[in-house]
Amino acid sequence: MSYVRLVNVTKRFGDVTAVDNLNFEIGKGECFSMLGPSGCGKTTTLRMVAGFEDLSDGEVWVGDNLMSSPRKNHYLPPEKRNFGMVFQAFAVWPHMSVYDNVAFPLQIRKLPKSEIEQRTTDALKATNLLSAANESPDFLSGGGKQRVALARALAINPDVMLLDEPLSSLDPHLREEMRFEIKELQQKYGFSIIYVTHDQSEAMALSDRIMVMKLGVMQQIDTPLNIYNHPANQFVFSFIGLSNFLNVVWRDGKLYLKGEGDKLAMPDELVPPEDLKGEPELSLASRPSEINFTSMTDPEALHGVVSRKAFLGEIIDYQIKAGEQTLRVQKGRRDPGPEAGENCAVHFERPFWYKGHAK
């Protein structure tokens, strides 16, 4: 059942359309991530949901309650929306103890003293901060400071937790650990999460569903697995995981690798789906781990030369030159493979075809 709902949400800053006609719905208790490169409109979207930014058009709903609608001249201020928020920068107050940092928003809401104590203590317990309650957050590590921000957001008992790159200033190991802590807190408290990140592995690990955005426009909304296995377009393919794109041209019913004169024919049995056969320009997308070395006589194989072979520990990373284009192939360190400088034939285990050439 949908809980948070964005309907045709648009935000313009002067000539820039930061968010372009966005529609999505989030279920109660769901973790929904917004993923995309810098400037694609993630923070702007989150700020509109929170009420820090007005909308140029569209509506934001939570359950049956309208939060924002410029057309209906309706706007509920942030403090009336029951959202917890954690941002990238450590937004803790150094002159207050950890305890007071967490209790402060509850005091502003003028809750009864006993309830403030109870909620603050619970939130500090849940984030493993009880022993630091009387210290200044200045003495805490980056992870500790983000826990204080999380505890403060938890204490208000939010319906929805809005998290904008909350882990990006932490070191990789801590970042991974805190992902699971956030997930555990969500399971315990049952709030919904809208999580902003440009780290795809973070989005994959945390989310029930991911929305991929580009230049303010939604590209795909789906489960992490479906986004990885069925990317809706070239952009999504390139943004999730490692990717290869070979640009090919379709001429007189045959495919050729793009390059000087477009003379290098693609193997006859490596063909795009029916609906793309009329397209003059196509790209063949593949993942480095889903390409195999095969025999030179394999009718589906593309031929090339190994231009670089690098040992990366568990995997071996090959760079293959096919005409003027390059492919990356990754195999396990125990898998047989050609040496640098040798000719080779590669077989695409799971080729994807998209209209148009990759840049």
Ligand X SMILES: Nc1ncnc2c1ncn2[C@@H]1O[C@H](COP(=O)(O)OP(=O)(O)OP(=O)(O)O)[C@@H](O)[C@H]1O
Residue 39: which of ligand X, Mg ion, none does it interact with, CB under 5 to 8 A by kind? ligand X
Q: Is 292 left (phi over 0), alpha (psi -120 to 50) or beta?
A: beta
Using the rule CB under 5 A, give the single segment among 9-17, 37-45, 256-264, 349-357 that binds Mg ion. Answer: 37-45
Q: Is the dihedral of CA 300, 301, 303, 304 positive or negative?
A: positive
**Contacts (Cβ under 8 Å, ≥6 apart) of 231:** 220, 237, 240, 285, 352
Find, among 128, 159, 123, 162, the residue nearest to 143 by Cα: 128
- Considering the complex, state which of residue 161 and residue 255 has its C-beta at the smaller distance from Mg ion: 161
Please report which helix (H) or strand (E) contains residue 221, including its range. Answer: strand 217-222
Residue 40: which of Mg ion, ligand X, none does it interact with, CB under 5 to 8 A by kind? ligand X
Residue 106: which of Mg ion, ligand X, none does it interact with, CB under 5 to 8 A by kind? none
Smallest separation, CB 13 to ligand X (Å): 3
Place of tokens 């902003």: 196
- Considering the complex, state which of residue 26 and residue 211 has its C-beta at the smaller distance from ligand X: 211
Smallest separation, CB 154 to ligand X (Å): 24
Smallest separation, CB 177 to Mg ion (Å): 23
33 binds Mg ion (CB under 5 A): no
Smallest separation, CB 155 to Mg ion (Å): 25
Among 4, 32, 44, 127, binds ligand X (CB under 6 A): 44
Smallest separation, CB 149 to ligand X (Å): 17
**Contacts (Cβ under 8 Å, ≥6 apart) of 61:** 4, 5, 6, 7, 67
- Considering the complex, state which of residue 168 and residue 292 has its C-beta at the smaller distance from ligand X: 168
Tell me the sheet residues that pair with 247: 283
242 binds ligand X (CB under 6 A): no
Burial class (CB in 10 A: 0-12, 13-18, 19+), 72: exposed
**Contacts (Cβ under 8 Å, ≥6 apart) of 161:** 83, 84, 85, 86, 153, 186, 191, 192, 193, 194
Among 30, 33, 43, 155, binds Mg ion (CB under 5 A): 43
**Tokens, residue 214:** 């580009």
Among 119, 152, 179, 198, binds ligand X (CB under 6 A): 198
Using the rule CB under 6 A, give the single segment among 10-18, 112-120, 229-237, 292-300 that binds ligand X. Answer: 10-18
38 binds ligand X (CB under 6 A): yes
45 binds Mg ion (CB under 5 A): no
Binding positions for Mg ion, rule: CB under 5 A: 43
